[in-house]
Structure 1
Amino acid sequence: MSRPSSPCIAICSTSQGDDVCKGCGRTFEEVCAWLFMDEAQQEVVWSRIDTEATALRYTTYKERA
């Protein structure tokens, strides 16, 4: 199964001051840097958020992922 180009599901809580986005599971720094990361760096982030699987993209809003 292929991944989307970004973990974002358009529910960004980092814009509300959270250190980690409740929607996608990325840190504020990862969200800001995402477009500038190479594939290997993005894969590190994907692996972490897949392992944690606590963000809304893995629970309430699986259909958006």
Structure 2
Amino acid sequence: MSSNLHDLPDSPCIGVCSTLFDEICKGCGRTATEVSNWVFLTDEERRSVWTRIEREGTAMRFKFDKL
């Protein structure tokens, strides 16, 4: 994905949430805190989260791209 935040979707969410029982959401790769505070994060903080979840590449969000 592009490093420009404005080229990315508003959120990494793909509607497959698992933050009630998991520390990291299996759908988007964010922590429960990141999910619940997403609308309050600065652009820099959001970019940092996007960078991390792209690097890890373990969330379902990235597995769909590889099909």
TM-score (ref. length: structure 2): 0.84
**How many pairs does the alignment contain?**
61
What RMSD in Å do the two structures reach over aligned CA positions? 1.5
The SS at the match of 2:55 is helix
**Correspondences of 1:1-65 after superposition (within 5 Å):** 1=2, 2-15=7-20, 17-59=21-63, 61-62=64-65
Q: Which runs of 5+ in 1 are unaligned?
A: none
Aligned-residue sequence identity (percent) comes to 47
- In the TM superposition, residue 25 of structure 1 has moved relative to its aligned partner by 0.1
Runs of 4+ in 1 over 2 A off after TM superposition: none
Q: Which runs of 5+ in 2 are unaligned?
A: none
